[in-house]
Structure 1
Amino acid sequence: MSKLPREPSASEITPPALYLRRRELLKSAALFAGTASAMGGGLVWLTGGEAGVADAGGPGAPGGEAAPLASVPPPADAAPPPAGASASASARSAFVTEEARTDYEAIVSYNNFYELGLSKAEPARNAGRLRLRPWAVACEGEIKKPEVIDLDTLLRWFPLEERVYRMRCVEAWSMVIPWLGFPLGPLLRRLEPTSRARYVQFTTLLDPEQLPGQRSDVLDWPYVEGLRIDEAMHPLTMLAVGLYGKSLLGQNGAPIRLVVPWKYGFKGCKSIVSIKLTERQPRTTWAQAAPDEYGFYANVNPAVDHPRWSQATERRIGELRRRPTLPFNGYAEEVAGLYSGMDLRESF
């Protein structure tokens, strides 16, 4: 009987783009040595695109104060709900989980956003460089109404709503995050996709002055992610502009980011400047950097291990014990039909 892959320790999590490049080996070793975790099993290196957790540096790292979003509950002057707050029984749906929410400070104080730095502490420190206004999103490609849309115009078009989603990192930890935003589907319908539109490509801002991590060649910039059009149109898929009743901070992908709760977190493209509908599958950043580790679909699947660790369980931030990972991150009832007839081991 083959031995199951063990869970990764903090010292084993290294960006694949570093170890895949020979010229980066020494650099990788130096970074590796400098990021030993003080959390007793906490993960040090994350793999792109998702919020992280507080480490020994603790909450409260600089990165700017989040502005309240007054058009949605809670009120503009309300403090973030306490960790562990749950949705009311009347709000039960796929859009609201009653699981305990991850603490606000854990979500915003320590993050995984390589564009703002390779270590887990750097994004919060560097987030103040990101200029959040003016901001526009270029909607282009296989659509009948291409246009560059100012973010404030988008916020007038679509009412904001709170959705409390589970978020599962490819590195086997998870959070529960109360996002604020709007579903992507209505925006795509407004743009009127052509009959050739089969995929949606998302691109992050490319500006090394604002995003100093882009001065390194750890990844091919800008960061690109993509979905099939039916995935993008699914009611669960949303564009988030805030969390816990406040505007997103730079380290969390401000001012607008993608959230697809049944996929690993790296699919959530941050600081989006382009939404492009295409006929061909986009060449996404992590699938290019390490195709044997990070596939295009990236659906949460406890039966398909990462080459370096098991995906069967996960560590929920704020909890001591591991919990079983749920197929499609617990959203199988809503999304499994999208993949009917597909081999989910091959199309990972």
Structure 2
Amino acid sequence: MKFTLKYTDPHSKARAGEMITDHGKIETPIFMPVGTVASVKGVHQKELKEEINPDIILGNTYHLYLRPKTQILEKAGGLHKFMGWDRNILTDSGGYQVYSLSDNRKIKEEGVKFKSHIDGSYHTFTPESVMEVQRIIGADIIMAFDECTPYPCDYKYAQRSMHMTHRWLERCIKHLEKLPYKYDYSQSFFPIVQGSTYKDLRRQSAEYIAGVGAEGNAIGGLSVGEPADEMYAMTEVVCEILPEDKPRYLMGVGTPINILENIALGIDMFDCVMPTRNARNGMLFTAHGTINIKNKKWEDDFSPVDEMAITFVDTEYSKAYLRHLFAANEYLGKQIATIHNLGFYLWLTREARKHILAGDFTEWKNKMVKQMDKRL
């Protein structure tokens, strides 16, 4: 993978960059739609490519390991071929999913033993096995195995967890060196900064991660319930340390406002289930605020879903019709809302890039944050 930093905003730390992998170009900043189980929920690949048009999407190691299982993915020739996606894919390591199974997992130095949410069977993830699984999945960018600490989290626990994540990283790197690529393209490896909401731990972890010299770096353990101001503070501390010539990925973040504020701090890559999950609950994100399409006020509003017309659904359907679909529990409503939200998130990061390159990002960002912080 090759990363080129094109421009940095003179009034913030916002960056416009370009990543080149064997599956093509990724212009940053970028939002990666989440395709947990080899599918961006409710969206055909044709719509994903032609309407939402992301350079890269995200798959999930934990879920793909359990279903359809690595044997099927390997037989298919990897995740790209299995799901019919010829652009870039990033897979997380499953560390966050293991964290979310707090009642059904046990963490030890060796790794994590967990109980499947599908059939109750027991499995163990180690740094070594997770590298093997991600080789078989075949994503263009693969993540180190880490422990995602909860919020709140006491200092001693955060410190112990951080050091274990660093030891696991060493094991990931060592094992990965022994594993040849499975398919006819290369993979890039990103380690993950941890340290909860403690600045000294975040600095320590960022310095350790920066010293690894990986092709890119990630920040984990945020967007787990902490106030936004704490998220921004941790991001700022870490971005001051991570190398400027490598892409920076903030995992699991967030709202449109979170994304713009973190772009301003120097983040290049984002993923989050919020645009798809909230869409299925009737929440639409727009440049002028958030719409709860289930509200009665939209019952006889025959204006387009979004006059900005980012995707075809924005002008193809009216707010009244979309509200009716949700009231009737018709799945088409969820699909329309999902395409709209993902289209908006991709528009937002691409528009941010344009303004970074134009040199007026900060002014535009402040205006957008004010506009989007409204309930319509």
TM-score between the two structures when normalised by the length of structure 2: 0.26
TM-score between the two structures when normalised by the length of structure 1: 0.27
